[in-house]
Amino acid sequence: MKRILLLIVIVSIISINFLFSQQLPLYSQYIMNDFYINPAIAGSKGYAPLVLSIHKQWAGIDHAPSTQVLSFHSMLPNKDMALGGILFHDSFGPEDRLGLQFTYAYHFYIDRHNKVSLGLAGVAMRYQMDERELHLHDYDDPAITYQLEKTIVPDANIGVYFYGQHYYAGITGANLFQSKLKINNNVKENKMVRHYYLFGGYKFEFSNQDWEIEPSVLLKFTELTRPQFDINAKVYYRKAFWFGVSLRPKDSFIANIGFQYKDYFLGFAYDFTFSDLSKYSFGSQEIILGWNINQSKGHKKNKSFF
């Protein structure tokens, strides 16, 4: 049954990804590494975060999606410009993506307490489709070569980010060039699709300052698909421990916990799937490891996770 389900999922993803569906991987703890979804966040933290995240989706299903992301960004000495980079790998069945993203961001003040930044990222991705792993009922499909197909895909992302001491909000446009995937001789049909992210959150402090709560929301959509919401709430204790929940309607419920020690932090998230895939999968897991370089030097009073 798992192999049958995997075949259905793979064929669906192949046909949809090449046309117009969401093509970017799911990511559960983006609040802990929001730079991954918006290039304008580069340099906004007051320290230089080096973050590794590992996401395993749909545990229990063979060859299910798996994503690894390593990112780093930092403000330059002039305090106006920032640079960053992301190394990412994503695989799902016969699909495999390996890429680099280089980011530049410029920050300026709206007033004494509020800033806005503009970010631009260039992306280079190696896309690989191993069609030798496909076992289709119709072997005469002209779109399938049953070979190892590879191509290099250039693209770009752009973002705007507003932030202050307690709030943040941003908008991202990804896959701006809608680059074509030059495989299977179907160049016109096979292409990346623009993705858009709208997100924002606010951190409320309780009177004793030991506890904080941070509600946030993320809206994801493409030009040809329905919007998808993530509704999040995260509670912090003494800025060193946190636990939170997220709801992805009609898809999953996410629980996450974590802690920070000095400049280092560790987080874990578990996705409880309640879509039709729940019959075959026992959820998704994600672990995130981070080093907030130089956070403890001059930022102890204003430690922030966003």
Look at residue 136 in the predicted model and tell me its pLDDT.
61
**What pTM was estimated for this model as a whole?**
0.84
Q: How do residues 236-246 score in pLDDT, each as one tens digit?
A: 999 899 999 99
Q: Taking Cα atoms as reference points, which of 290, 285, 257, 306 lies closest to residue 26?
A: 285
Q: How do residues 8-63 score in pLDDT, each as one tens digit?
A: 344 344 333 333 344 677 678 888 889 999 999 999 999 999 999 999 887 777 77
Q: Containing H/E element for 256?
A: strand 252-261
Its domain, for residue 256, covers 2-302
Look at residue 302 in the predicted model and tell me its pLDDT.
42
Look at residue 306 in the predicted model and tell me its pLDDT.
41
Residue type, 210: D
Look at residue 276 in the predicted model and tell me its pLDDT.
72
Longest Cα–Cα distance in the chain: 69
Give the domain CATH number at 135. Answer: 2.40.160.40
Residue type, 306: F
The chain-wide mean pLDDT, for the chain, equals 83
The H-assigned helical ranges of the chain are 2-17
Look at residue 162 in the predicted model and tell me its pLDDT.
97
Residues of the chain with pLDDT under 70: 1-23, 26, 132-146, 184-189, 278, 298-306
Residues whose CB falls within 8 Å of the CB of residue 76, separated by 6 or more in sequence, listed in order: 43, 82, 83
The radius of gyration of the chain's CA atoms, rounded to the nearest angstrom, is: 20
Residues whose CB falls within 8 Å of the CB of residue 274, separated by 6 or more in sequence, listed in order: 251, 252, 253
Count of domains forming the chain: 1
Q: Are strands 195-202 and 211-222 parallel, antiparallel or unpaired?
A: antiparallel
Q: Taking Cα atoms as reference points, which of 201, 215, 281 lies closest to residue 37?
A: 201
